[in-house]
Structure 1
Amino acid sequence: MTTVIKNSILTAEIKRFGAELISLKSNQHKEYIWEGNPEFWGKHSPILFPIVGTLKNNSFHYNGIEYHLSRHGFARDMEFELIEATESRAVFSIQSSAETLKVYPFEFELQLIYTLNENNLSIEYKVFNKGKSTMPFSIGAHPAFALPNQFENYALAFDKEESLEYYLLENDLISNKTKKLEVTDKQIPLTYELFKNDALIFKTLQSDSLTILENEKPILRVHFEDFPSLGIWTKMNAHFLCIEPWFGYSDTNESSGNLFEKEGIQILESDATFHSKFSLEIL
Protein backbone atom coordinates (compact mmCIF):
# COMPACT_ATOMS: atom_id res chain seq x y z
CA MET A 1 0.00 0.00 0.00
CA THR A 2 1.34 3.42 -0.92
CA THR A 3 0.55 7.06 -0.18
CA VAL A 4 0.91 9.81 -2.78
CA ILE A 5 1.53 13.46 -1.95
CA LYS A 6 1.87 16.19 -4.57
CA ASN A 7 1.97 19.85 -5.41
CA SER A 8 2.21 21.77 -8.68
CA ILE A 9 5.89 20.83 -9.15
CA LEU A 10 6.50 17.41 -7.57
CA THR A 11 4.77 14.12 -6.80
CA ALA A 12 6.11 11.73 -4.14
CA GLU A 13 5.02 8.18 -3.47
CA ILE A 14 5.73 6.48 -0.13
CA LYS A 15 5.24 2.82 0.79
CA ARG A 16 3.64 2.04 4.15
CA PHE A 17 6.12 -0.80 4.48
CA GLY A 18 9.19 0.90 5.90
CA ALA A 19 7.61 4.33 5.24
CA GLU A 20 9.96 4.23 2.27
CA LEU A 21 10.05 6.88 -0.45
CA ILE A 22 9.82 4.96 -3.72
CA SER A 23 9.23 7.77 -6.22
CA LEU A 24 9.84 11.49 -6.58
CA LYS A 25 8.78 12.87 -9.95
CA SER A 26 8.70 16.33 -11.43
CA ASN A 27 5.68 17.63 -13.30
CA GLN A 28 7.73 16.80 -16.41
CA HIS A 29 7.57 13.13 -15.29
CA LYS A 30 11.30 12.93 -14.58
CA GLU A 31 12.00 10.31 -11.89
CA TYR A 32 14.66 11.14 -9.29
CA ILE A 33 14.51 7.99 -7.12
CA TRP A 34 16.18 4.70 -8.05
CA GLU A 35 13.82 2.06 -9.43
CA GLY A 36 14.89 -0.61 -6.94
CA ASN A 37 16.08 -3.21 -9.45
CA PRO A 38 16.94 -6.22 -7.23
CA GLU A 39 19.70 -7.27 -9.62
CA PHE A 40 21.70 -4.45 -8.03
CA TRP A 41 19.83 -3.27 -4.92
CA GLY A 42 16.15 -3.84 -4.29
CA LYS A 43 15.44 -0.81 -2.13
CA HIS A 44 14.79 2.87 -2.82
CA SER A 45 15.20 4.94 0.35
CA PRO A 46 15.06 2.88 3.56
CA ILE A 47 15.06 4.35 7.06
CA LEU A 48 17.96 3.20 9.25
CA PHE A 49 16.83 2.77 12.88
CA PRO A 50 17.62 2.06 15.70
CA ILE A 51 21.16 1.55 14.37
CA VAL A 52 23.04 2.73 11.31
CA GLY A 53 25.35 0.18 9.75
CA THR A 54 26.50 -2.98 11.49
CA LEU A 55 27.11 -3.87 15.11
CA LYS A 56 30.17 -5.92 16.03
CA ASN A 57 28.95 -9.55 16.00
CA ASN A 58 25.50 -8.08 15.17
CA SER A 59 24.89 -7.79 18.90
CA PHE A 60 24.99 -5.52 21.94
CA HIS A 61 24.44 -6.01 25.66
CA TYR A 62 22.18 -4.15 28.05
CA ASN A 63 21.57 -4.90 31.74
CA GLY A 64 23.51 -8.13 31.44
CA ILE A 65 21.49 -9.46 28.49
CA GLU A 66 22.77 -9.89 24.93
CA TYR A 67 20.57 -8.66 22.10
CA HIS A 68 20.93 -9.24 18.37
CA LEU A 69 20.23 -6.50 15.82
CA SER A 70 20.73 -6.94 12.09
CA ARG A 71 22.41 -4.37 9.85
CA HIS A 72 20.64 -0.97 9.80
CA GLY A 73 18.03 -2.11 12.34
CA PHE A 74 14.42 -3.16 11.90
CA ALA A 75 12.38 -0.04 11.06
CA ARG A 76 12.87 -0.47 7.30
CA ASP A 77 11.17 -3.89 7.56
CA MET A 78 8.11 -2.79 9.54
CA GLU A 79 4.66 -1.73 8.42
CA PHE A 80 4.10 1.91 9.35
CA GLU A 81 0.74 3.45 10.17
CA LEU A 82 -0.35 6.53 8.24
CA ILE A 83 -1.42 8.86 11.06
CA GLU A 84 -1.88 12.12 9.16
CA ALA A 85 -2.23 13.07 5.51
CA THR A 86 -2.96 16.12 3.40
CA GLU A 87 -2.42 16.64 -0.32
CA SER A 88 1.24 17.62 0.20
CA ARG A 89 2.13 16.07 3.58
CA ALA A 90 2.07 12.59 5.13
CA VAL A 91 3.05 11.36 8.61
CA PHE A 92 3.92 7.71 9.28
CA SER A 93 4.49 6.03 12.63
CA ILE A 94 5.70 2.82 14.24
CA GLN A 95 5.91 2.03 17.93
CA SER A 96 7.84 -0.46 20.01
CA SER A 97 6.13 -3.82 20.43
CA ALA A 98 6.72 -7.21 21.98
CA GLU A 99 8.67 -8.13 18.85
CA THR A 100 10.94 -5.07 18.82
CA LEU A 101 11.60 -5.37 22.55
CA LYS A 102 13.12 -8.80 21.94
CA VAL A 103 15.95 -7.22 19.92
CA TYR A 104 15.96 -3.63 21.24
CA PRO A 105 14.72 -3.28 24.84
CA PHE A 106 13.56 0.33 24.68
CA GLU A 107 10.07 1.77 24.28
CA PHE A 108 9.78 4.28 21.47
CA GLU A 109 7.72 5.83 18.73
CA LEU A 110 9.31 6.71 15.39
CA GLN A 111 7.61 9.14 13.01
CA LEU A 112 8.59 9.93 9.41
CA ILE A 113 7.09 13.15 8.05
CA TYR A 114 7.16 13.87 4.32
CA THR A 115 6.31 17.41 3.19
CA LEU A 116 6.37 18.91 -0.30
CA ASN A 117 7.02 22.63 -0.56
CA GLU A 118 7.52 23.95 -4.10
CA ASN A 119 10.57 22.10 -5.50
CA ASN A 120 11.57 20.59 -2.13
CA LEU A 121 10.70 17.36 -0.35
CA SER A 122 11.56 17.49 3.34
CA ILE A 123 11.87 14.25 5.32
CA GLU A 124 11.64 14.66 9.07
CA TYR A 125 12.48 12.13 11.76
CA LYS A 126 10.90 12.23 15.20
CA VAL A 127 11.95 9.74 17.86
CA PHE A 128 10.00 9.65 21.13
CA ASN A 129 11.44 7.89 24.18
CA LYS A 130 8.35 6.36 25.78
CA GLY A 131 10.26 4.37 28.39
CA LYS A 132 11.49 5.23 31.87
CA SER A 133 15.20 4.88 31.08
CA THR A 134 17.53 6.73 28.73
CA MET A 135 17.50 5.30 25.19
CA PRO A 136 20.53 4.94 22.89
CA PHE A 137 19.86 4.99 19.16
CA SER A 138 21.18 5.93 15.76
CA ILE A 139 19.10 7.04 12.81
CA GLY A 140 19.90 7.67 9.20
CA ALA A 141 18.67 8.03 5.65
CA HIS A 142 19.58 5.87 2.65
CA PRO A 143 18.00 7.52 -0.44
CA ALA A 144 19.14 6.20 -3.81
CA PHE A 145 18.98 8.69 -6.66
CA ALA A 146 18.48 7.59 -10.24
CA LEU A 147 21.43 8.29 -12.54
CA PRO A 148 20.10 6.99 -15.86
CA ASN A 149 23.00 8.12 -18.03
CA GLN A 150 26.61 6.98 -18.02
CA PHE A 151 27.91 7.08 -14.44
CA GLU A 152 31.00 9.10 -15.38
CA ASN A 153 28.73 11.89 -16.65
CA TYR A 154 27.93 12.75 -13.04
CA ALA A 155 29.78 14.60 -10.31
CA LEU A 156 29.16 15.71 -6.72
CA ALA A 157 29.53 19.31 -5.57
CA PHE A 158 29.99 20.24 -1.91
CA ASP A 159 28.71 23.59 -0.74
CA LYS A 160 31.86 24.34 1.31
CA GLU A 161 35.58 23.80 0.91
CA GLU A 162 36.44 20.27 2.04
CA SER A 163 39.56 18.29 2.85
CA LEU A 164 37.88 14.94 2.41
CA GLU A 165 38.96 11.90 4.36
CA TYR A 166 36.75 8.84 4.44
CA TYR A 167 36.85 5.68 6.52
CA LEU A 168 37.10 2.24 4.96
CA LEU A 169 34.85 -0.66 5.88
CA GLU A 170 36.21 -4.10 6.74
CA ASN A 171 33.62 -6.87 7.11
CA ASP A 172 30.95 -4.13 7.35
CA LEU A 173 32.69 -2.52 10.36
CA ILE A 174 34.51 0.82 10.40
CA SER A 175 38.25 0.26 10.19
CA ASN A 176 40.96 2.65 11.33
CA LYS A 177 42.07 2.99 7.72
CA THR A 178 41.25 6.20 5.89
CA LYS A 179 41.72 7.54 2.40
CA LYS A 180 41.93 11.07 1.08
CA LEU A 181 39.57 12.13 -1.67
CA GLU A 182 40.79 14.78 -4.05
CA VAL A 183 38.39 17.70 -4.42
CA THR A 184 38.69 20.23 -7.24
CA ASP A 185 36.55 23.37 -7.08
CA LYS A 186 34.48 21.67 -4.35
CA GLN A 187 33.66 18.83 -6.77
CA ILE A 188 34.47 15.14 -7.18
CA PRO A 189 33.75 13.27 -10.43
CA LEU A 190 31.90 9.99 -10.01
CA THR A 191 33.49 6.70 -11.02
CA TYR A 192 32.68 3.15 -9.98
CA GLU A 193 36.32 2.81 -8.92
CA LEU A 194 35.55 5.13 -5.99
CA PHE A 195 33.28 2.48 -4.51
CA LYS A 196 35.37 -0.65 -5.07
CA ASN A 197 35.75 -0.98 -1.28
CA ASP A 198 32.06 -0.25 -0.54
CA ALA A 199 30.68 3.02 0.82
CA LEU A 200 32.58 6.24 1.45
CA ILE A 201 32.00 7.12 5.10
CA PHE A 202 32.57 10.64 6.37
CA LYS A 203 32.32 10.99 10.14
CA THR A 204 32.30 14.78 9.83
CA LEU A 205 31.93 17.31 7.01
CA GLN A 206 32.05 21.08 6.70
CA SER A 207 29.28 21.07 4.09
CA ASP A 208 25.56 21.21 4.77
CA SER A 209 24.51 20.09 1.29
CA LEU A 210 25.65 17.99 -1.63
CA THR A 211 24.59 18.54 -5.24
CA ILE A 212 24.45 15.95 -8.03
CA LEU A 213 25.66 17.34 -11.36
CA GLU A 214 24.80 15.73 -14.69
CA ASN A 215 27.15 16.89 -17.47
CA GLU A 216 28.10 19.78 -15.18
CA LYS A 217 24.46 20.82 -14.73
CA PRO A 218 22.99 20.69 -11.18
CA ILE A 219 19.96 18.38 -11.05
CA LEU A 220 19.36 17.62 -7.36
CA ARG A 221 20.63 18.89 -4.01
CA VAL A 222 20.50 17.04 -0.69
CA HIS A 223 20.39 19.37 2.34
CA PHE A 224 21.54 17.69 5.57
CA GLU A 225 22.55 20.49 7.93
CA ASP A 226 21.11 18.63 10.96
CA PHE A 227 23.24 15.51 10.37
CA PRO A 228 26.87 15.15 11.50
CA SER A 229 27.88 12.18 9.31
CA LEU A 230 27.40 11.06 5.73
CA GLY A 231 27.71 7.95 3.61
CA ILE A 232 27.96 7.84 -0.19
CA TRP A 233 27.46 4.52 -1.96
CA THR A 234 26.60 2.68 -5.14
CA LYS A 235 27.08 -0.78 -6.61
CA MET A 236 29.24 -1.61 -9.59
CA ASN A 237 27.44 -0.84 -12.88
CA ALA A 238 24.27 0.28 -11.11
CA HIS A 239 22.54 3.47 -12.24
CA PHE A 240 22.07 5.05 -8.81
CA LEU A 241 23.93 6.90 -6.11
CA CYS A 242 23.01 6.90 -2.43
CA ILE A 243 23.65 10.06 -0.43
CA GLU A 244 23.03 9.09 3.20
CA PRO A 245 22.84 11.61 6.08
CA TRP A 246 23.42 9.81 9.38
CA PHE A 247 23.44 10.14 13.14
CA GLY A 248 25.88 7.31 13.82
CA TYR A 249 27.58 4.59 11.76
CA SER A 250 28.89 1.03 12.01
CA ASP A 251 30.84 -0.32 14.97
CA THR A 252 34.60 -0.71 14.94
CA ASN A 253 36.44 -3.91 15.81
CA GLU A 254 37.22 -2.31 19.17
CA SER A 255 33.57 -1.68 20.06
CA SER A 256 32.63 -2.76 23.58
CA GLY A 257 29.11 -3.94 22.76
CA ASN A 258 27.63 -1.27 25.04
CA LEU A 259 25.34 0.94 22.92
CA PHE A 260 25.77 3.82 25.36
CA GLU A 261 29.50 3.83 24.54
CA LYS A 262 29.04 3.48 20.78
CA GLU A 263 30.70 6.14 18.63
CA GLY A 264 28.13 8.50 17.13
CA ILE A 265 25.25 7.21 19.27
CA GLN A 266 22.39 9.49 20.32
CA ILE A 267 21.12 9.35 23.90
CA LEU A 268 17.49 10.32 24.49
CA GLU A 269 16.16 10.95 27.98
CA SER A 270 12.87 9.48 29.19
CA ASP A 271 9.83 11.31 27.73
CA ALA A 272 12.11 13.36 25.46
CA THR A 273 11.84 13.81 21.68
CA PHE A 274 14.56 13.81 19.03
CA HIS A 275 13.77 15.79 15.87
CA SER A 276 15.82 16.13 12.71
CA LYS A 277 15.25 16.55 9.00
CA PHE A 278 16.93 16.58 5.63
CA SER A 279 15.50 17.67 2.29
CA LEU A 280 15.73 16.99 -1.41
CA GLU A 281 15.73 20.00 -3.69
CA ILE A 282 15.01 19.47 -7.37
CA LEU A 283 17.00 21.91 -9.49
Structure 2
Amino acid sequence: MIITLSNTKISASINTVGAELMKLEKDNQNYIWTIDEAFWNKTSPILFPIVGRLKNDSYSINGKTYELPRHGFARNFEFEVANQTESSAVFILRDNTETLKNYPFQFELRLKYELIENSLKISYSVLNKSQEIMPFSIGAHPAFAIEDSFSDYSLQFNEAEKFVSYELENEQFNNSFRKIPSENGKINLDYALFEKDALVFKQLKSNKLTLSKKNQPYLSVEFKDFPYLGIWTKPNAPFLCIEPWCGLADNVNHNGNIYEKEGIQLLDNNAEFQKEINISIL
Protein backbone atom coordinates (compact mmCIF):
# COMPACT_ATOMS: atom_id res chain seq x y z
CA MET A 1 0.00 0.00 0.00
CA ILE A 2 1.22 3.51 -0.81
CA ILE A 3 0.79 6.21 1.83
CA THR A 4 0.85 9.79 0.52
CA LEU A 5 1.73 12.78 2.69
CA SER A 6 1.51 16.43 1.71
CA ASN A 7 1.70 20.00 2.91
CA THR A 8 1.45 23.27 1.01
CA LYS A 9 5.01 22.90 -0.33
CA ILE A 10 5.85 19.26 -1.04
CA SER A 11 4.48 15.72 -1.00
CA ALA A 12 5.90 12.28 -0.29
CA SER A 13 4.78 8.73 -1.13
CA ILE A 14 5.87 5.80 1.05
CA ASN A 15 5.33 2.11 0.39
CA THR A 16 4.24 0.12 3.44
CA VAL A 17 6.53 -2.68 2.17
CA GLY A 18 9.86 -1.72 3.69
CA ALA A 19 8.49 1.72 4.70
CA GLU A 20 10.28 2.76 1.51
CA LEU A 21 10.17 6.34 0.24
CA MET A 22 9.01 6.15 -3.37
CA LYS A 23 8.49 9.82 -4.25
CA LEU A 24 9.39 13.25 -2.91
CA GLU A 25 7.77 15.90 -5.07
CA LYS A 26 7.67 19.65 -5.40
CA ASP A 27 5.97 21.48 -8.28
CA ASN A 28 5.29 18.13 -10.00
CA GLN A 29 8.98 17.19 -9.99
CA ASN A 30 9.98 13.94 -8.28
CA TYR A 31 13.35 14.18 -6.56
CA ILE A 32 13.52 10.43 -5.85
CA TRP A 33 14.50 8.32 -8.83
CA THR A 34 11.86 6.19 -10.57
CA ILE A 35 12.65 2.47 -10.57
CA ASP A 36 14.20 1.02 -13.70
CA GLU A 37 15.06 -2.62 -13.02
CA ALA A 38 17.77 -2.51 -15.66
CA PHE A 39 19.72 -0.59 -13.02
CA TRP A 40 18.14 -1.24 -9.59
CA ASN A 41 14.80 -2.28 -8.13
CA LYS A 42 14.71 -0.01 -5.05
CA THR A 43 14.27 3.70 -4.35
CA SER A 44 15.09 4.15 -0.66
CA PRO A 45 15.39 0.90 1.31
CA ILE A 46 15.86 0.85 5.08
CA LEU A 47 19.00 -1.05 6.09
CA PHE A 48 18.34 -3.11 9.23
CA PRO A 49 19.53 -5.04 11.23
CA ILE A 50 22.78 -4.85 9.26
CA VAL A 51 24.32 -2.41 6.82
CA GLY A 52 26.15 -3.87 3.84
CA ARG A 53 27.25 -7.47 3.45
CA LEU A 54 28.39 -9.92 6.09
CA LYS A 55 31.40 -12.11 5.45
CA ASN A 56 29.92 -15.35 4.02
CA ASP A 57 26.50 -13.71 4.58
CA SER A 58 26.60 -15.01 8.15
CA TYR A 59 27.46 -14.03 11.71
CA SER A 60 27.76 -15.78 15.04
CA ILE A 61 26.41 -15.32 18.56
CA ASN A 62 27.83 -17.52 21.33
CA GLY A 63 29.15 -19.93 18.72
CA LYS A 64 25.84 -20.29 16.87
CA THR A 65 25.75 -19.21 13.22
CA TYR A 66 22.96 -17.20 11.64
CA GLU A 67 22.53 -15.94 8.08
CA LEU A 68 21.41 -12.52 6.88
CA PRO A 69 21.30 -11.11 3.35
CA ARG A 70 23.03 -7.86 2.42
CA HIS A 71 21.43 -4.90 4.23
CA GLY A 72 19.26 -7.19 6.34
CA PHE A 73 15.56 -7.94 6.06
CA ALA A 74 13.53 -4.87 7.05
CA ARG A 75 13.25 -3.63 3.47
CA ASN A 76 11.25 -6.74 2.50
CA PHE A 77 8.58 -6.72 5.25
CA GLU A 78 5.20 -5.03 5.43
CA PHE A 79 5.18 -2.26 8.04
CA GLU A 80 2.19 -1.27 10.14
CA VAL A 81 1.03 2.35 9.72
CA ALA A 82 0.35 4.34 12.90
CA ASN A 83 -0.28 7.95 13.91
CA GLN A 84 -0.99 9.10 10.38
CA THR A 85 -1.86 12.73 9.65
CA GLU A 86 -1.98 14.68 6.41
CA SER A 87 1.75 15.49 6.61
CA SER A 88 3.21 12.68 8.76
CA ALA A 89 3.03 8.95 9.41
CA VAL A 90 4.79 6.35 11.55
CA PHE A 91 5.70 2.94 10.12
CA ILE A 92 6.36 0.05 12.52
CA LEU A 93 8.04 -3.34 12.10
CA ARG A 94 8.26 -5.81 14.99
CA ASP A 95 10.07 -9.11 15.28
CA ASN A 96 8.11 -12.10 13.99
CA THR A 97 8.59 -15.80 13.42
CA GLU A 98 10.52 -15.15 10.20
CA THR A 99 12.90 -12.51 11.62
CA LEU A 100 13.62 -14.59 14.72
CA LYS A 101 14.98 -17.46 12.61
CA ASN A 102 18.07 -15.47 11.65
CA TYR A 103 18.02 -12.56 14.08
CA PRO A 104 17.19 -13.92 17.54
CA PHE A 105 16.14 -10.63 19.12
CA GLN A 106 12.82 -9.02 19.94
CA PHE A 107 12.68 -5.48 18.59
CA GLU A 108 10.48 -2.66 17.39
CA LEU A 109 11.67 -0.59 14.42
CA ARG A 110 9.89 2.71 13.76
CA LEU A 111 10.27 5.13 10.87
CA LYS A 112 8.49 8.46 11.08
CA TYR A 113 8.12 10.55 7.93
CA GLU A 114 7.20 14.19 8.53
CA LEU A 115 6.91 17.03 6.02
CA ILE A 116 8.01 20.43 7.34
CA GLU A 117 7.93 23.26 4.80
CA ASN A 118 10.31 22.16 1.97
CA SER A 119 11.86 19.36 4.05
CA LEU A 120 11.20 15.72 4.77
CA LYS A 121 12.34 14.60 8.21
CA ILE A 122 12.86 10.85 8.57
CA SER A 123 13.21 9.67 12.17
CA TYR A 124 14.55 6.21 13.00
CA SER A 125 13.82 4.45 16.29
CA VAL A 126 14.99 1.01 17.40
CA LEU A 127 13.67 -0.45 20.65
CA ASN A 128 15.29 -3.55 22.15
CA LYS A 129 12.54 -5.69 23.64
CA SER A 130 14.90 -8.61 24.35
CA GLN A 131 16.40 -9.38 27.74
CA GLU A 132 19.97 -9.29 26.42
CA ILE A 133 22.06 -6.65 24.68
CA MET A 134 20.98 -6.39 21.04
CA PRO A 135 23.58 -5.84 18.29
CA PHE A 136 22.33 -4.05 15.18
CA SER A 137 23.11 -1.58 12.44
CA ILE A 138 20.79 0.80 10.64
CA GLY A 139 21.16 2.98 7.58
CA ALA A 140 19.33 5.12 5.05
CA HIS A 141 19.64 4.54 1.30
CA PRO A 142 17.66 7.20 -0.64
CA ALA A 143 18.31 7.37 -4.38
CA PHE A 144 17.96 10.84 -5.87
CA ALA A 145 17.04 11.37 -9.50
CA ILE A 146 19.84 12.48 -11.83
CA GLU A 147 18.74 14.15 -15.06
CA ASP A 148 20.91 14.87 -18.08
CA SER A 149 24.65 14.52 -17.56
CA PHE A 150 25.95 12.95 -14.33
CA SER A 151 29.03 15.17 -14.53
CA ASP A 152 26.80 18.26 -14.25
CA TYR A 153 26.33 17.40 -10.58
CA SER A 154 28.47 17.96 -7.52
CA LEU A 155 28.34 17.39 -3.77
CA GLN A 156 29.17 20.25 -1.41
CA PHE A 157 29.84 19.27 2.20
CA ASN A 158 29.34 21.77 5.01
CA GLU A 159 32.90 21.36 6.32
CA ALA A 160 36.25 21.42 4.54
CA GLU A 161 37.27 17.78 4.28
CA LYS A 162 40.06 15.56 3.09
CA PHE A 163 37.95 12.77 1.65
CA VAL A 164 39.25 9.24 2.23
CA SER A 165 37.08 6.42 0.89
CA TYR A 166 37.51 2.93 2.32
CA GLU A 167 37.63 0.31 -0.41
CA LEU A 168 35.19 -2.55 -0.84
CA GLU A 169 36.15 -5.84 -2.44
CA ASN A 170 33.25 -8.22 -3.08
CA GLU A 171 31.23 -5.89 -0.83
CA GLN A 172 33.61 -6.25 2.13
CA PHE A 173 36.28 -3.86 3.35
CA ASN A 174 39.77 -4.94 2.33
CA ASN A 175 41.86 -2.54 4.49
CA SER A 176 42.72 -0.28 1.57
CA PHE A 177 41.56 3.26 0.94
CA ARG A 178 41.92 6.08 -1.57
CA LYS A 179 41.74 9.83 -1.56
CA ILE A 180 38.81 11.38 -3.42
CA PRO A 181 39.57 14.58 -5.37
CA SER A 182 37.83 17.62 -3.92
CA GLU A 183 38.15 21.35 -3.49
CA ASN A 184 36.90 23.22 -0.43
CA GLY A 185 34.57 20.37 0.55
CA LYS A 186 33.21 19.92 -2.98
CA ILE A 187 33.29 16.66 -4.96
CA ASN A 188 32.52 16.81 -8.66
CA LEU A 189 30.61 13.71 -9.67
CA ASP A 190 31.87 11.27 -12.27
CA TYR A 191 30.87 7.65 -12.81
CA ALA A 192 34.56 6.73 -12.64
CA LEU A 193 34.48 7.45 -8.89
CA PHE A 194 32.20 4.43 -8.43
CA GLU A 195 34.04 1.84 -10.54
CA LYS A 196 34.96 -0.04 -7.34
CA ASP A 197 31.56 0.22 -5.69
CA ALA A 198 30.45 2.91 -3.22
CA LEU A 199 32.44 5.72 -1.70
CA VAL A 200 32.55 5.07 2.04
CA PHE A 201 33.58 7.81 4.46
CA LYS A 202 34.28 6.98 8.09
CA GLN A 203 35.63 10.17 9.66
CA LEU A 204 33.71 13.09 8.24
CA LYS A 205 33.44 16.37 10.10
CA SER A 206 30.45 17.31 7.95
CA ASN A 207 26.87 16.51 8.90
CA LYS A 208 25.21 18.02 5.84
CA LEU A 209 25.76 17.96 2.11
CA THR A 210 24.16 19.70 -0.84
CA LEU A 211 23.61 18.16 -4.25
CA SER A 212 24.00 20.78 -6.99
CA LYS A 213 23.39 20.72 -10.71
CA LYS A 214 25.59 23.06 -12.78
CA ASN A 215 26.55 24.70 -9.47
CA GLN A 216 22.90 25.42 -8.61
CA PRO A 217 21.86 23.87 -5.26
CA TYR A 218 19.27 21.18 -5.89
CA LEU A 219 18.64 19.45 -2.58
CA SER A 220 20.39 18.88 0.74
CA VAL A 221 20.70 15.96 3.15
CA GLU A 222 21.43 16.56 6.83
CA PHE A 223 22.66 13.56 8.82
CA LYS A 224 23.68 14.64 12.31
CA ASP A 225 25.35 11.98 14.51
CA PHE A 226 25.67 9.33 11.81
CA PRO A 227 29.26 8.02 12.02
CA TYR A 228 29.49 6.80 8.41
CA LEU A 229 28.35 7.92 4.99
CA GLY A 230 28.07 5.98 1.75
CA ILE A 231 27.70 7.53 -1.72
CA TRP A 232 26.72 5.12 -4.49
CA THR A 233 25.46 4.71 -8.01
CA LYS A 234 25.80 2.21 -10.86
CA PRO A 235 27.46 2.74 -14.25
CA ASN A 236 25.35 5.19 -16.28
CA ALA A 237 22.46 4.96 -13.81
CA PRO A 238 20.25 8.07 -13.48
CA PHE A 239 20.45 8.21 -9.68
CA LEU A 240 22.77 9.00 -6.80
CA CYS A 241 22.35 7.40 -3.38
CA ILE A 242 23.31 9.43 -0.32
CA GLU A 243 23.45 6.97 2.58
CA PRO A 244 23.96 7.94 6.23
CA TRP A 245 24.83 4.81 8.21
CA CYS A 246 25.17 3.59 11.77
CA GLY A 247 27.01 0.45 10.73
CA LEU A 248 29.30 -0.99 8.08
CA ALA A 249 29.84 -4.06 5.92
CA ASP A 250 32.20 -6.68 7.30
CA ASN A 251 35.96 -6.54 6.95
CA VAL A 252 37.48 -9.42 4.97
CA ASN A 253 39.28 -10.48 8.17
CA HIS A 254 36.27 -10.33 10.50
CA ASN A 255 35.91 -13.36 12.79
CA GLY A 256 32.11 -13.47 12.42
CA ASN A 257 31.26 -12.52 16.01
CA ILE A 258 28.62 -9.82 15.55
CA TYR A 259 29.43 -8.23 18.91
CA GLU A 260 32.97 -7.56 17.62
CA LYS A 261 31.89 -6.23 14.22
CA GLU A 262 33.19 -2.78 13.24
CA GLY A 263 30.49 -0.13 13.60
CA ILE A 264 27.98 -2.37 15.36
CA GLN A 265 25.49 -0.67 17.68
CA LEU A 266 24.84 -2.35 21.04
CA LEU A 267 21.50 -1.62 22.66
CA ASP A 268 20.61 -2.56 26.25
CA ASN A 269 17.35 -4.32 26.96
CA ASN A 270 14.37 -1.94 26.93
CA ALA A 271 16.63 0.84 25.62
CA GLU A 272 15.79 2.94 22.56
CA PHE A 273 18.08 4.17 19.77
CA GLN A 274 17.09 7.28 17.82
CA LYS A 275 18.47 9.13 14.79
CA GLU A 276 17.06 11.36 12.08
CA ILE A 277 17.91 12.74 8.67
CA ASN A 278 16.45 15.74 6.87
CA ILE A 279 16.05 15.98 3.09
CA SER A 280 15.36 19.51 1.89
CA ILE A 281 14.39 20.59 -1.60
CA LEU A 282 16.17 23.84 -2.42
- TM-score interval w.r.t. the shorter chain? over 0.9
Matched, 1:78 2:77: yes
Q: Aligned with 2:39: secondary structure?
A: coil
Q: Which amino acid aligns with 2:126?
A: V
Aligned residue in 2 for 1:148: 147
In structure 2, how many angstroms separate the alpha carbons of the residues matched to 1:13 and 1:86? 13
In structure 2, how many angstroms separate the alpha carbons of the residues matched to 1:158 and 1:64? 43
> Percent identical across equivalent pairs?
50
Aligned residue in 2 for 1:192: 191
Give the deviation of 1:128 after TM superposition: 0.4
Unaligned residue ranges in structure 2 (runs of 5+): none
In structure 1, how many angstroms separate the alpha carbons of the residues matched to 2:276 and 2:31? 19
Aligned residue in 1 for 2:182: 183
* TM-score where L is the length of structure 1: 0.99
Q: Which amino acid aligns with 2:212?
A: L
In structure 2, how many angstroms separate the alpha carbons of the residues matched to 1:140 and 1:246? 4
Q: Following superposition of structure 1 onto structure 2, how do residues 162-177 of structure 1 map, counting pairs within 5 Å?
A: 162-177=161-176
Unaligned residue ranges in structure 1 (runs of 5+): none
**1:226–1:278 CA contact under 8 A, matched in 2:** no
The ranges of structure 1 where at least 4 consecutive aligned residues each deviate by more than 3 angstroms after the TM superposition are none
Aligned residue in 2 for 1:57: 56
In structure 1, how many angstroms separate the alpha carbons of the residues matched to 2:114 and 2:17? 18
Aligned residue in 1 for 2:6: 6
In structure 2, how many angstroms separate the alpha carbons of the residues matched to 1:8 and 1:174? 44
Q: Following superposition of structure 1 onto structure 2, how do residues 214-225 of structure 1 map, counting pairs within 5 Å?
A: 214-225=213-224
Give the deviation of 1:64 after TM superposition: 2.5
Q: Aligned with 1:47: secondary structure?
A: coil
Aligned residue in 2 for 1:46: 45
Q: Aligned with 2:30: secondary structure?
A: coil
Aligned residue in 2 for 1:126: 125
Give the deviation of 1:226 after TM superposition: 2.1
Aligned residue in 1 for 2:89: 90
Give the deviation of 1:91 after TM superposition: 0.2
In structure 2, how many angstroms separate the alpha carbons of the residues matched to 1:226 and 1:10? 26
**2:161–2:184 CA contact under 8 A, matched in 1:** no
Aligned residue in 2 for 1:280: 279
Q: Which amino acid aligns with 1:224?
A: F
* TM-score where L is the length of structure 2: 0.99
Aligned residue in 2 for 1:243: 242
**1:2–1:15 CA contact under 8 A, matched in 2:** yes
